[in-house]
Amino acid sequence: MKDLHLAGIKASRTVLDLAGATLGGREVMLMGGPCAVESAAQMYQAAQTVSECGGKVLRGGVFKPRTSPYSFQGLGQQGIQYLVEAAHAHGLLAATEVIDPESLNLVAAEVDIIQIGARNMQNFQLLKLAGKTDLPVILKRGLAATVEEWLMAAEYILASGNPRVILCERGIRTFETTTRNTLDLGAMLVAKGLSHLPVIVDPSHAAGRTDIIPGLAKAAVAAGADGLLIEMHPNPAEAKSDGPQSLTPEQFKLLATELVAVAHSVQRSFAGPVHGNTLAALRARIDIVDIALVDLIAQRMQLVQHIGWAKGKGTIQDSAREASIIQRLRHAAQNMDCSPELIEDLYSQIFAHSVQIQAEIGAKGPVSVSKTEDNVRKGELNICSA
């Protein structure tokens, strides 16, 4: 792809620092809020939910680019105040869409992040103006834009002097009619491969319906999205726009809870719902972590036993392998802000117990073991003391 002078892949990925939270690094960032800002109370409730769920950004539209001129067009300037006050009162960043130079001028000094919507992805004048601000820009992929066109739109913003661009895949128009659009996770991955910029996913506008949003959101994080932008309304039935695709606060919270494990499974982190910082709440959380730790250690010791059977009477201690495990885990610990020394100490205990278990297995006399990889994995070892 030519002309990706600034948006094209570099030696390192761009990690944006958004008031202390990072986007594009290890953390998965959750952004949420209603499609349109409607009232102070609505925004306050939405902000409370986003912050309780571990989200960092409250997004709500005050200038809405609607397909029909008769649909609600947004509250305009009044809405900016509702959005910003609610966000900041909850320690969140405020994000809103800009649709033209005038709306950009109105919000630029007020909000923390601006969004350029799908319908304006190739509004080159607007892209250039967004590039002249110092605000992070969420750049949605156009309804029928190729990845190249999307990245070239990002290039416009970067070339105008603003390096803080966040790409957002939000579904493209296809022949499918059961969903509003088709979420293109392939394009999200291609964009991540071709560019150093963070890429987030908006499953709400892709789906157009709430039932499949949690699945799409989890798939996006599992696939490597740096963040999610999800529509949530305190009362979707009353929403002035995009109600059918707006999660309730309860659905949003459940999804946020599920995302914790999904992020973890792909070596990313997402803190998830905050349960308060009282001593009792923190101890309740640590109790859950402790049980999970014991469960993982138990699984490890079972594998140690299987490996012991597979080794039979062979050499038990393999110092070279122990050293390489320690080296790998120290490195992983460092990347997770955990003390490498703690992990090394813990593993010296685990190795000592493992050697003891395998020594006992080895001492039980010749053991005939079916050593095929598959059998070891399935735990279907054919042991016969003979």
* Residue 239, binding choice from ligand PEP, Mn ion, none, Cβ under 5 to 8 Å by partner class: none
Please report how close the Cβ of residue 122 comes to ligand PEP at its closest, in angstroms. 12
The HSE-up count of residue 54 (CA atoms within 13 Å, CB side) is: 20
180 binds ligand PEP (CB under 6 A): no
61 binds ligand PEP (CB under 6 A): yes
Of 103, 136, 102, 143, nearest in space to 120 by CA: 143
Amino acid, res. 64: K
79 binds ligand PEP (CB under 6 A): no
Contacts of 228 (CB under 8 A, 6+ apart): 28, 29, 30, 31, 32, 200, 201, 202, 203, 217, 220, 221, 259
Instruction: Check if the beta carbon of residue 92 is closer than 8 Å to that of residue 50.
Output: yes
Rounded to whole angstroms, the Cα distance separating 50 from 43 reads 10
Of 237, 170, 245, 243, nearest in space to 213 by CA: 245
Contact track, Mn ion, 302-341, x by CB under 5 A:
----------------------------------------
Phi (first) and psi of residue 166, to 5 degrees:
-120, 115
Contact track, ligand PEP, 201-220, x by CB under 6 A:
----x---------------
* Residue 218, binding choice from Mn ion, ligand PEP, none, Cβ under 5 to 8 Å by partner class: none
Which residue from 242, 343, 361, 362 is in contact with Mn ion, where contact means CB under 5 A?
242
- Report which residue's Cβ sits closest to ligand PEP: 117
Q: Which is nearer to ligand PEP, 162 or 241 (CB)?
A: 241
Rounded to whole angstroms, the Cα distance separating 380 from 6 reads 54
* Residue 140, binding choice from ligand PEP, Mn ion, none, Cβ under 5 to 8 Å by partner class: ligand PEP
Please report how close the Cβ of residue 170 comes to ligand PEP at its closest, in angstroms. 4
Which residue from 23, 31, 35, 247 is in contact with Mn ion, where contact means CB under 5 A?
35
Q: Count of CB atoms within 10 A of residue 106's CB? A: 18
Contact set with ligand PEP (CB under 6 A) = 35, 61, 117-119, 140, 170, 205
Contact set with Mn ion (CB under 5 A) = 35, 242
